[in-house]
Structures are given as C-alpha cells and as structure tokens.
Amino acid sequence: MTESEGFKGMTMKKRLYVAVVWFLICCLPGIASPKLDVMLDFFVNPNHIPLIVAVKNGFFAQEGIEVKILVPGNPSDSIKLVAAGAMDIALTPQINLLIARDAGLPVVAIGSLIGSPLGGLLALKGNGISNLSDLRGHRIGYSLAPLEPILWRTMLASVGVKPGEYELINVGFNTVLSLLSGQVDAIGAFRNFEVPQVTIAGHGPVFFPEEKYGVPHTEEIIIAANANTVGQDAVKMRAFLAGLARGIAFTEAHPEEAFQEFVAAYPDLNDTLNRRAYEITLPLFSSGARLGPAQEWQNLQSYLFKNNLIKSEFKLTALYTEAYLPAKKENK
C-alpha cells in the first residue's frame, strides 16, 4: 500500500488529526513569538540585572515572548509612553506611578523588581555629620522638585529640625560633585550608587535611609502597564512576569554568574562601582516579582496626598493588580 493509499484509507477524524500534527511540526516553528517592548526607568545599571539575565538565559523566550529592552531619553518618559500605548511595559518608581495616575494617566502596577526604597540623605563624616539632626544649619542639595524637598523635610522633621533651620539648594544632577566640593553639606542619594561612589572616591559616607526617618515604605522599581489594555494583553503580561521572576530567582541563586552575564552584555559597566552597587542591591530584588502589601500602598498614597503631591486618593485596585503574577509555588 502506498503512502497516498494509506491516507485515503483513514477516517475523516484521523485525516484531520494527521493534518493538525503536520501543521504543528512544519508551521509553528516559523511563527514569531509575541514581542514586548520594555522601557527602563534610567540608563542600564545593576538594578536591572535580573531583567538582563532573563533575556540572556532565554527565560522570556521559554515563556513564549520576545522582550526588547529600551532606555528612556528622560527618566520620566517611561511611564508616559506606556500610558500613551507606545510601550508595553515601563520600569518606574512606585511614587512616580502614583503621581502619574493622579495626573490622569491610565497606568497600573503589575509587578515589582526592587521592592524596597533606595533613597535617603548622604553626608560626609569629615564634615562633622554623624546624626541626621546635625544637618541643622547646613545646606542640603537636591535634584528633583517638588518631591525631594518634601522627602527631606519629612526626614528632618522626624528629628526635630524645622524648615528654616537648614537650606535646600537645587544642584541639578551634579549631586556628588556638589557634596565633595563643599557646595552643600548633604545630598539626596541612592544607597546603592552615590554611597559607594563617595566611598570609592576616598571619603567616609554617612547615609540616612529615608524609611527610618518618617518617609513611608516605597518600592523603588515597579512594573507598570497600560491600565486600558493590560487585560487584553494578559497572556504577554503573565509571560513577562514569569520570565522576570525566573530572572530574579536566578540572580539570587547565582549572584556571581548573573553579574558576569550582565557585564558581558555591558562591558563598560565592569568596574568597582557597579559591582559594589550590585552587592548592595542584591538582597532587595522582589522575589517572584511580587508587589508589596496593600497597607504600604495606602500609607504611601496618603503621604503623597497629605503633602500635596497628588490631588486625590484612589482605590487600591486602580493602582495595582496581582492578577498576572506567577503562582508563589513557581518561585521556590
């Protein structure tokens, strides 16, 4: 019996089964995976290592998507582009998402990369600063208004230092230079970047974490999507978060291998500062890409409202969703 005769002898059901199998074998390998454009919150740095690792190890591909990482021209662009539908996902600080939501942008948090705050005030031991209250009568440099001045006022008020007992100076983005040159006595800083940067420059840093001085807990980098389209993109969102969760788990389990993959992709970042930044950040990645508890979201939203950084408070369901996160058992 010839191959043709064998096919003719099959029932209609069997013929259909064979046709489907041949389609799966011959056609599907040529079908491109759905693409997802992901915009970072800033230039590439060790904060993004789990994301880079997930791409390099094929975790996203194994989840059925192709991820393209993009760097914003301006840090504020990411959330705006997601709101406009020009980007699928943005990495952004939790505070930025709340402010964007209050401004009417349709954005929602679906996951987290760094679930802890990184900010605070940085001074130098050589300037006689050992306690936060020692900044009374001193100059404090900041970059971003109105947010930073409110954060630093909150911190100083927690130790009894009142407005008028210190001077806030906008130093642009030359914060470390302004501190080391003596233009100011303290600056707003990230504990995983400016602190080791000052140390490497040969100075003794004194860092005051914002969350220990009255500022509510914040998530430094959350994953934001368009609130209007996230539902119809559910498959891609779940795939992305599953891949990211695997990238975080790999980074936590194999920290040195993860760093080497990162610097292989970005050799210009293979230096002492970026390694130290990574070591500080490593314990802060959000296992399972999971978001913080509801009470933390409410506390932060209330703080921003009280300080006139947002005009109204939202139901928490309008701010974030856990619907697309992988099940916890997958992240063990």
Residues 195-251 have pLDDT tens digits of 999 999 999 999 999 999 999 999 999 999 999 999 999 999 999 999 999 999 999
What pLDDT is stored for residue 33 in this prediction?
85
The answer to whether residue 306 scores a pLDDT higher than 80 is: yes
Between CA 220 and CA 227, with CA 319 as vertex, the angle to 5 degrees is 110
State the number of CA atoms in the 13 A half-sphere of 276 facing the CB: 14
Q: Which amino acid is at 328?
A: K
Could you tell me what percent of the chain has a pLDDT over 90?
87
Q: Domains, the chain, ranges and CATH?
A: 35-116+218-331 (3.40.190.10), 119-212 (3.40.190.10)
pLDDT at 328: 80
Asked whether the beta carbons of 165 and 254 are under 8 A apart, the reply is: no
pLDDT band at 27 (very low <50, low <70, confident <90, very high): very low
The mean pLDDT of the chain is 92
Residue type, 304: L
Predicted local confidence at residue 52, as pLDDT: 98
Mark out the alpha helices in the chain (DSSP H runs).
3-8, 12-26, 49-56, 59-62, 77-83, 94-102, 147-157, 175-180, 194-200, 234-253, 255-265, 272-281, 294-306
Indicate if the pLDDT at residue 7 is higher than 50.
no
pLDDT at 16: 47
* pLDDT in the model for residue 148: 97
In the sheet that holds 66-70, the strands lie side by side as 66-70, 35-39, 89-92, 221-226, 107-114
**Gyration radius (Cα) of the chain, Å:** 24
Give mean pLDDT, residues 292-309: 98
- Res 254 pLDDT > 90: yes
Band (pLDDT 50/70/90 cuts) for residue 6 is very low
Give the pLDDT confidence of 175-193 residue by residue, as tens digits.
999 999 999 999 999 999 9
Name the 3-class secondary structure at 37: strand
Query: What is the mean predicted confidence (pLDDT) over 161-185?
Result: 96
What is the structure's pLDDT at 32?
72
In the predicted structure, residue 265 carries a pLDDT above the cut 90? yes
Q: Are 72 and 285 in contact (CB under 8 A)?
A: no
State percent of the chain over pLDDT 70: 89
